[in-house]
């Protein structure tokens, strides 16, 4: 399970990623879309693997470099 703070950060990153998906690769767009669906279903009960977190961090970094986050 994740903390409410981590959930809030995830919500922000994912919302911005969906709104600005042109900065992401096709694979990252698919990952974000699938992750959003999983998050809506499971909320705080969602489990994030280290590999998934690394991908989410990479997406957030792309958004930062684009001046979006």
What does the pLDDT look like over 20-57, one tens digit per residue?
Answer: 999 999 999 999 999 999 999 998 899 999 999 999 99
Residue 65: pLDDT over 90: yes
Q: Which one, of 29, 25, 11, lies nearest residue 69 by Cα?
A: 11
Could you tell me the pLDDT band of residue 2, with boundaries at 50, 70 and 90? Answer: confident
Could you list the residue range(s) of the whole structural domain that residue 37 is in? Answer: 4-65
- Position 33 scores a pLDDT of 97
Find all residues with CB under 8 Å of 10, minimum gap 6, and list them. 2, 39, 56
Residue reference for tokens 């499971």 = 42
| Number of folded domains that form the chain | 1
Contact indicator for 7, 43 with CB cutoff of 8 Å: yes
Report the pLDDT averaged over residues 54-63. Answer: 98
What pTM value is reported for the model? 0.92
Q: What's the token pair of residue 28?
A: 């990252």
């Amino acid at each position: 399970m994740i903390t409410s703070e981590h959930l809030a950060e995830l919500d922000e990153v994912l919302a911005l990623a969906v709104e600005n998906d042109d900065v992401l690769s096709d694979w990252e767009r698919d990952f974000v879309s699938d992750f959003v669906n999983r998050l809506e279903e499971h909320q705080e009960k969602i489990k994030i693997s280290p590999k998934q977190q690394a991908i989410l961090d990479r997406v957030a970094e792309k958004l930062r470099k684009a001046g979006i986050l």
